[in-house]
Amino acid sequence: MDPDLILRWLHVIGACVLLGTGAGIAFFMMMAHRTRDARLIAHTAGVVVLADLLFTTTAVVVQPITGGLLAWRLGWPFSEGWLALSLILYVLTGAFWLPVVWIQLRLRDLARAAAEAGEALPARYHRLFTVWFACGFPAFAAVLAIVWLMLARPDLGVWLIR
């Protein structure tokens, strides 16, 4: 089988996993949060943390490897405008994703503690959830932009140094 085709396939699957897991995690966390039920939130956040560990982390590792190999095999320099911007957006996404993972762990732990104590969710939970929610928008938008750049490969030489 064609190695370039395998690399492209793996790279596209990785992008799909990033988008799908990101959207799924956001949806399920929002739905659980809206219930204000600490037990449900704790359970959902636990599943979300596991999904991030299994799926998102794997895709985060695979994407630069498959992307780098593709660029090398196809002769695309990393200074190519669309590729350079994709890499910048990838780092930006990571800058938002890493705190989100930590926040998800804290949200899970705070919800578990509230459920075990039979209490309402603490103010810290709500503050962290607001930060988690706010971080999701730029991270998800950056991933969407990367997918567009990957597909369109626009000539961005005017804006970026070649």
Whole-angstrom Cα distance, residue 16 to residue 39?
A: 30
Question: Whole-angstrom Cα distance, residue 18 to residue 13?
Answer: 9
pLDDT of residue 117: 97
For 37, the 3-state DSSP assignment is coil
CB 61 within 8 A of CB 90: no
Q: What is the pLDDT of residue 46?
A: 97
pLDDT by residue for the chain (162 residues), tens digit each?
Answer: 898 899 999 999 999 999 999 999 999 999 999 999 999 999 999 999 999 999 999 999 999 999 999 999 999 999 899 999 999 999 999 999 999 999 999 999 999 999 999 999 999 999 999 999 999 999 999 999 999 999 999 998 755 554
The dihedral over CA atoms of 148, 151, 156, 160, expressed in degrees to the nearest 10, equals 70
* pLDDT for the residue 159: 55
Q: Dig out the tokens for 137 from the structure.
A: 């928008």
**What pLDDT was estimated at residue 139?**
94
Residue 53 DSSP class: I
State the chain's maximal CA–CA distance in angstroms.
Answer: 60
Q: What percent of the chain has pLDDT over 90?
A: 92
pTM value is 0.88
pLDDT at site 158: 54
Q: What are phi and psi of 153, to 5 degrees?
A: 45, 55
Identity of the amino acid at 47? V
Selection from 98, 91, 96 nearest residue 146 by Cα: 91
User: Domain segments of the chain: what residues?
Assistant: 3-152
Task: Label residue 57 left, alpha or beta by phi (over 0 means left) and psi (-120 to 50 means alpha).
Answer: alpha
Output the pLDDT for position 160.
52
The pLDDT of residue 71:
94
Average pLDDT value for the chain: 94
CA distances from 134 to 26, 67, 147 (A): 11, 28, 21
Q: What are phi and psi of 5, to 5 degrees?
A: -65, -40
